A and B are shown apart, each in its own frame.
Chain A
């Protein structure tokens, strides 16, 4: 998003309208009141709980690329890097949540919380049931603080899949929310940023460039992979009966081939410590002008794991 120019004012509505026009088989634009926008699945499924994800409009494919069958029913965004308005979320909820209710699913940031919480109250006044689920997987955001202070990163990808799978089975809103919260609670994400042209690495940099918590000079790729896995396992601590799922997300400047080499090393490090159920590699959530990764580990028990086994196709990614 370097070259906004005259599109800045109306950026998100233009973005979603174009997505819906380009792939009409997949999406429709809900046409909510600007400055934000909402994109929904082409074919509505009113017989299920509606999964509505939201956040600041960013580089993608998260958030709108996660709208589709097996994923979310709708994505609501605010202007670039700004929380969506409560009114836009409310409009989406009215359109999609009338029958079975709406799950409002988002990463834990103040603006997103305020607007979703307000939308939930407005929807209740119209008789639309909602449950809110806040994702708090980014361990770099609140080092040494309780988990509930953490922001969310891309662990929400697993939560979306579990919520969508449970909704498709016809589960109630409360049950879908319970499974979504359970998934988030067992999910941790850590970022690894590499300074261009050097071997200087930093763990825990935030999605908007907030400083990390730990750096190393002259790191080897193998040592970085091993340290990443150690830090994540220490945080998420797999329990007996849980299977471990890993999502390796390459940031914008990282090459396709690099990301598979790195994921291979991480998988080897992970397998030496615990059984691994599934590894996915792709570009799920970008950070502008960064070489590096975010890695998410999810510990899933028998109730959660079945929702993750079949691959799902999003826009520009396979998960």
Chain B
């Protein structure tokens, strides 16, 4: 799909929510090793609530849809994950204000705004073994994809590919922030669960917009 309106994006977010819920066992397994084990359950709680919210409502614009998604995650998830995934969906809203339909460039601008907001708020740097290590390559891949395409699906696919590259890279990283810093060396070889969630979110959306 080249362009997506609020209805198509609602379907994409429902698919992303399903994908996150399906990934819960893997997220939990990884977080049990390097974190406090609650990332998967937190994500499942938040995205289950999100799906319920999306099924019960219609949205007049992509802005209204993503604003509602971000608020729902903040309300239902708690902890730092709720804030950070909420930030990812809310931080770039200015870029799509007033648009009825998102093309690849608008989608890229929206998520890049959200990614910048997560980095500003969470204070994590590249290489700290956090979701930022998936977000930064996702941003780079999206921006590069725009040279060849203006399709919303291709941009989200690029985001997923970048995020997956980031997930692989986090395996070699030592944690410097958050709970998993207490696990330091034993975290080597394991990916960051927040980074995995980012790749699942982009992948779920891309698939639904095919």
Which positions in A face B, CB cutoff 8 Å?
33, 35, 78, 82, 85-87, 90, 110-111, 114-115, 117-118, 121-122, 125
Can you list 23 residue pairs at the A/B interface with Cβ under 8 Å? A35-B78, A85-B78, A86-B74, A86-B83, A86-B86, A87-B75, A111-B80, A114-B80, A114-B84, A114-B121, A117-B83, A117-B121, A118-B86, A118-B87, A118-B121, A121-B87, A121-B90, A121-B91, A121-B117, A122-B71, A125-B67, A125-B90, A125-B93
Contact B79 A86 (CB under 8 A): no
A-B pairs, top 6 by smallest CB distance, nearest first, are: A87-B75, A114-B83, A118-B83, A86-B74, A87-B74, A85-B78
Contact B80 A122 (CB under 8 A): no
Closest-CB distance, A278 to chain B (whole angstroms): 37
Closest-CB distance, A276 to chain B (whole angstroms): 39
Closest-CB distance, B114 to chain A (whole angstroms): 11
Closest chain B residue, CB of each to CB of A33: B75
Which of chain A's residues have a CB closer than 8 A to the CB of B90? 121-122, 125
The answer to whether B37 has its CB under 8 Å from any CB of chain A is no
Closest-CB distance, B79 to chain A (whole angstroms): 7
Closest-CB distance, B133 to chain A (whole angstroms): 18
Closest-CB distance, B127 to chain A (whole angstroms): 19
Interface of B: prevailing SS: helix
Number of interface residues of B (CB under 8 A): 18
Which of chain B's residues have a CB closer than 8 A to the CB of A118? 74, 83, 86-87, 121
The answer to whether B35 has its CB under 8 Å from any CB of chain A is no
Cα of A48 to Cα of B78 in the assembled complex, Å: 30
User: Could you tell me which residues of chain B, from 1 to 47, have a CB within 8 Å of some CB in chain A?
Assistant: none
The answer to whether B137 has its CB under 8 Å from any CB of chain A is no
Which of B82, B91, B93, B122 is within 8 Å of A86, CB to CB?
B82
Which of B67, B74, B91 is within 8 Å of A85, CB to CB?
B74
Contact A115 B71 (CB under 8 A): no
Closest-CB distance, A39 to chain B (whole angstroms): 19
Which of chain B's residues have a CB closer than 8 A to the CB of A114? 80, 83-84, 121-122
Closest chain A residue, CB of each to CB of B122: A114
Cα of A115 to Cα of B75 in the assembled complex, Å: 11
Contact B82 A85 (CB under 8 A): yes
Contact B86 A85 (CB under 8 A): no
Cα of A114 to Cα of B117 in the assembled complex, Å: 12
Cα of A122 to Cα of B83 in the assembled complex, Å: 11
Contact B80 A87 (CB under 8 A): no
Which of chain A's residues have a CB closer than 8 A to the CB of B75? 33, 85, 87
Which of chain B's residues have a CB closer than 8 A to the CB of A90? 74
Q: Which of B71, B74, B90, B91 has the most CB of A within 10 A?
A: B74
Closest-CB distance, B59 to chain A (whole angstroms): 15
Which of chain A's residues have a CB closer than 8 A to the CB of B74? 85-87, 90, 118, 122
Cα of A118 to Cα of B79 in the assembled complex, Å: 12
Cα of A110 to Cα of B75 in the assembled complex, Å: 18
Cα of A114 to Cα of B91 in the assembled complex, Å: 14
Given contacts A33-B75, A122-B74, contact A115 B83 (CB under 8 A): yes
User: Could you tell me which residues of chain B, from 73 to 106, have a CB within 8 Å of some CB in chain A?
Assistant: 74-75, 78-80, 82-84, 86-87, 90-91, 93
Cα of A110 to Cα of B84 in the assembled complex, Å: 12
Which of chain A's residues have a CB closer than 8 A to the CB of B87? 118, 121
Closest chain A residue, CB of each to CB of B178: A110
Contact B121 A87 (CB under 8 A): no
Per-residue A-contact encoding for B100-118, CB less than 8 Å = 1, 0 else: 0000000000000000010
Cα of A307 to Cα of B84 in the assembled complex, Å: 38
Closest-CB distance, B36 to chain A (whole angstroms): 13
Which of chain B's residues have a CB closer than 8 A to the CB of A117? 83, 121
Closest chain A residue, CB of each to CB of B70: A122
Closest-CB distance, B128 to chain A (whole angstroms): 14
